[in-house]
């Protein structure tokens, strides 16, 4: 199967109406994402990251510009494009197992293969033993991991991850980052990861996009050429992290104060 389809965004603009007022959330976003790459997107809260992912996954068609995958214009949702939502969005009336299995409802896999795949993914995110538990009995981080399992179970060509590791403790977080890398290296799927953690973006992404708010736009675009697995303590790593933070405006305030 070819994994080389480019995801291409051309002049994407998005405006919300709030109380009759136009709110421009995304402005002139253009981006070519090579098939099989791992993109980190960072930017302040409210700059339109989730909105951008909603457009790519096909949940909202009210926007300007063109989104295409492998040359085909994206229309509506597709099992080729998966998403892990910022809120875990597990269905409260289904057990963990049923929630993950829901994504396979229309897959061509047979019954036993489906079961196996669901079990594999639950295992992968470290939730073995919780298969028959309802979401309200899971912790926030466990629910997030379950949502990741559901996103991966269909083997999408493009997987969008909206702060999927936000509610995890540092140790589990690092562990799952490595798991995501591992899956990405095996499956060669395109991953787009929105995160507030610059280190996470630099650790995972072969490219890191920095967005600025009001209206949401691309401010910077870093290629991260460090080989995997990356050493977070290395000089190159901290250098790049520093540059990304500067691009985000992290030091503007202090510099102004110093002046």
* Contact footprint for other proteins (CB under 8 A): 57-59, 76-79, 82-83, 85, 87, 89, 91-94, 102-103, 105-106, 120, 123-130, 132-137, 154, 172, 175, 178-179, 182
Q: Which is nearer to other proteins, 115 or 243 (CB)?
A: 115
Q: Does 144 bind ligand ATP (CB under 6 A)?
A: no
Q: How many residues does the chain have?
A: 259
Please say whether the dihedral angle defined by the alpha carbons of residues 133, 171, 120 and 57, taken in this order, is positive or negative: positive
Shortest CA distance to 84 belongs to which of 153, 178, 150?
150
Kindly tell me which residue out of 86, 107, 172, 242 binds ligand ATP, with binding defined by CB under 6 A: 86
Please list the residues that pair with 191 across neighbouring strands.
38, 159
Give the C-alpha separation, 244 to 239, whole Å. Answer: 9
Task: Spell out the residues 6+ positions from residue 81 whose beta carbon is closer than 8 angstroms to its own.
Answer: 56, 57, 58, 69, 74, 156, 157, 158, 159, 160
Q: Which is nearer to ligand ATP, 16 or 237 (CB)?
A: 16
Stretch that binds ligand ATP, among 47-55, 74-82, 197-205, 219-227 (CB under 6 A): 47-55
Region near ligand ATP per CB under 6 A, out of 49-57, 137-145, 228-236, 248-256? 49-57
Residue 13 structure tokens: 């603009």
**50 makes contact with Mg ion (CB under 5 A):** yes
Site for Mg ion in 72-91 (CB under 5 A): 86
Residue nearest to ligand ATP (CB): 50
Tokens 């589990």, residue located: 172
Residue carrying the six token digits 């799952």:
176
Tell which one of 31, 33, 47, 201 touches ligand ATP (CB under 6 A): 47
Least distance from C-beta 221 to ligand ATP, angstroms?
17
Among other proteins, ligand ATP, Mg ion, none, what binds residue 70 when CB lies within 5 to 8 Å by partner kind? none
3-state secondary structure 25-54: EEEEEEEEECCCCEEEEECCCCCCHHHHHH
- H helix or E strand, kind and range, residue 14: strand 7-18
**Given the structure tokens 């280190």, which residue do they identify?**
199
Q: Tell which one of 8, 37, 50, 177 touches ligand ATP (CB under 6 A).
A: 50
Of the candidates 6, 152, 161, 160, which has an alpha carbon nearest to the alpha carbon of residue 73?
6
User: For other proteins, which is the closer residue by CB, 127 or 211?
Assistant: 127
Sign of the Cα torsion 117, 120, 126, 129 reads: positive
User: From the list other proteins, Mg ion, ligand ATP, none, which binds 45 (C-beta under 5 to 8 Å, kind-based)?
Assistant: ligand ATP
25 part of the interface to ligand ATP, by CB under 6 A? yes
Is the Cβ of residue 128 or residue 196 nearer to other proteins in the bound state? 128
State which residue, 179 or 197, has the beta carbon closest to other proteins: 179
Which residues of the chain form contacts with ligand ATP (CB under 6 A)? 16, 18, 23, 25, 45-51, 86
């Amino acid at each position: 199967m070819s994994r080389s389809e480019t995801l291409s965004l051309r002049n994407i603009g998005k405006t919300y109406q709030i109380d009759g007022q136009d709110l421009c959330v995304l402005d002139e976003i253009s981006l070519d994402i090579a098939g099989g790459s791992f993109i980190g997107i960072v930017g302040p809260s409210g700059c339109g990251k989730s909105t951008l992912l909603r457009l790519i996954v096909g949940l909202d068609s009210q926007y300007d510009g063109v989104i295409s995958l492998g040359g085909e214009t994206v229309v509506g949702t597709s099992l080729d494009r998966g998403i892990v939502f910022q809120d875990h969005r597990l269905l409260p009336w289904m057990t963990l197992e049923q929630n993950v299995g829901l994504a396979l409802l229309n897959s061509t896999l047979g019954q036993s293969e489906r079961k196996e795949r669901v079990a594999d993914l639950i295992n992968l995110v470290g939730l073995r033993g919780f298969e028959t538990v309802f979401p309200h009995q899971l912790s926030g981080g466990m629910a997030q991991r379950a949502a990741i399992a559901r996103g991966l179970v269909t083997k999408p060509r493009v997987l969008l991850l909206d702060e999927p590791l936000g509610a995890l403790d540092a140790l589990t977080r690092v562990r799952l980052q490595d798991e995501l890398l591992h899956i990405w290296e095996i499956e060669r799927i395109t991953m787009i990861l929105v995160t507030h953690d610059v280190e996470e973006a630099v650790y995972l992404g072969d490219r890191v996009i920095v967005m600025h708010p009001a209206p949401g736009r691309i401010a910077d675009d870093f290629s991260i050429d460090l080989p995997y697995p990356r050493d977070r303590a290395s000089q190159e790593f901290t250098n790049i992290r520093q540059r990304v933070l500067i691009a985000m405006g992290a030091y503007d305030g202090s510099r102004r104060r110093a002046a």
